Structure 1
Amino acid sequence: MTLDPDQTGPIRIGESNEWPATVVGAHRLREDLTVVRLIGEFVPFAPGQSVEVRTPQHPNMVRRLYPALPPSLDGKLEFHIRTVPGGWCSGSMVADTRTGDEWKIRNPAGWLAVDEDATEVVMIADGIGLAPLRAQLLDLSRREQPPRTHLFVAGRYPRDLYAADMLALLGNEMPWLTIIPVVLDEEDPDWADDWYESCRVEIGFHPEELIQGTLPEVVSRFTPLDHQNILVCGAAATVHNTVEMLVATGTPPELIRYEGF
């Protein structure tokens, strides 16, 4: 399944239930990325699904986003949003979202699910494709015996691994989780990202932990995967190339679930 990250269109009133939520925090982590947290009515989605969102900045447009938290009875929601080149809607959501904004949530959909009887899981996240996989991780942590899980998380540069501190904490708290950070370039670019500098923390990945290469190349070193539940999410081209590589190196297609945007 492929989704356009700046997919917009007319609202079709009455097509599905709609749940209100209020922005309680918009945390700009990078020039092109923000994390938005909301509280509102309970939204009945499944971990790994996406939802349609309406914002006050674009009340007649919908955009499909992936919650980064599992469903919460107290109505907590979190979304990771990155500016898409040429995508004026995503750019506005990153730059203009403010505390107190009222969002409308509707139409959960998707199939990034982990089987109840899974004993081993491989998650492959490109950029903000991490969001639905993080929701899955937190949901798996509620199981009496969580499956052994390997999470590949990828960015072009080390600073693109925007959730390194959160992932380091999760790795310490979840002994069944192994995190594999992947970067195309081992050094950050020489242009400054003031947002990154303002929120830089000491917790995160050490340079020696980073594996250099494209995401499909790095994942191919661990194939074939012949029994694991495999979830892939991220930019459409990277997801396509990763799934093609998995199948070409002997991974059964029926083991793979993926979403591209």
Structure 2
Amino acid sequence: MAIDPSPGTPEEWTATVVGHHRLRHDLAVIRLIGEFVPFTAGQSVEVRVPQQPEVRRRLSPALPPSLDGKLEFHVRTVPGGWLSGTLVADTQMGDEWRISAPAGLFRVDPAGDEVVMIAGGTGLAPMRSQILELARVPEPPRTYLFVGGHSPRDLYAADMLSLLAEQLPWLTVVPVVQSVTDPGWVDEWYERSRVDIGFAPEDLFQGTLAEVIGSHGAFAAHQVLVCGSPAMVHATVNRLLETGTPAERIQFEGLQ
């Protein structure tokens, strides 16, 4: 659903935190409800929070726009980041956020070619938003979601993605890890949030996202979207180009 703010639309909207789910030591899923924000699935928005009201940070909603004002953000701590650590550790129920400045270039044509989405870490958020948007059309294009992490427990949304792939016959999820075993140290937040639904060890592809994507050859007739850390995006886009995917077929965005 592409939305263009009309004249007189406010430049800032408010939303209240109704859920703060710490899934990893460095990652949280934050849910809010409030005023309708006129963004487009795949875009990012600027947020201000009460803990550091003078700091602005861009985040990508993990839900498409909804008239009931529901928002969801996936936030990972960025070393040296001004705000990410605060959002992960200190967000409280009832916090009022200020949302503004929808922006971004990700666009999926629901009547177009097959889609390849490549998400590193919380780069999953704008991909999920667009998948749920595609689910609203009668005949979505076949969509392949490659989602990557360093180890299996970095795939923080494995349960949600497994269920989503079962519900949407046109969606294939490809989990990618650099190591098939988790680190030896205990992440208490991971242990608290563990569930039985997720990816089986035999479902995992080992390597970086760039390596696994490169092994599939050119995506010359696909809509290709890439989102993740700047290093992951750089490596993956370069690999896509090296293996013959046309540059005009690739949309990409690095996380701040």
Q: TM-score range by the shorter chain?
A: over 0.9
Deviations 1:138-187 (A, max 9, x none): 00001110100000000001000000000000000000001000000110
Residue 165 of structure 1 corresponds to 159
Return the TM-score normalized by structure 2.
0.95
- Structure 2: how far apart are the matches of 1:96 and 1:116? 38
Residue 227 of structure 2 corresponds to 233
Q: What are the equivalent positions in structure 2 for 1:1-261 lying under 5 Å apart?
A: 17-261=11-255
- Structure 2: how far apart are the matches of 1:190 and 1:252? 41
Q: Which runs of 5+ in 2 are unaligned?
A: 1-9
The answer to whether the 8 A contact 2:121-2:154 is kept is: yes
Local SS of the residue matching 1:166: helix
Residue 11 of structure 1 corresponds to none
Local SS of the residue matching 1:60: coil
* RMSD after superposition: 0.8
Q: Which runs of 5+ in 1 are unaligned?
A: 1-15
Query: How many residues get paired?
Result: 246
Q: Which amino acid aligns with 2:126?
A: P
Deviations 1:187-241 (A, max 9, x none): 0000000000011000000000000001100001112011100010000110011
Return the TM-score normalized by structure 1.
0.93
Identity across the alignment (%): 63
Q: Which amino acid aligns with 2:174?
A: I
Q: Which amino acid aligns with 2:234?
A: H
4+ residue runs over 4 A deviation: none
Deviations 1:76-122 (A, max 9, x none): 00000000112241101100001000000000000111024213000
- Structure 1: how far apart are the matches of 2:198 and 2:72? 21
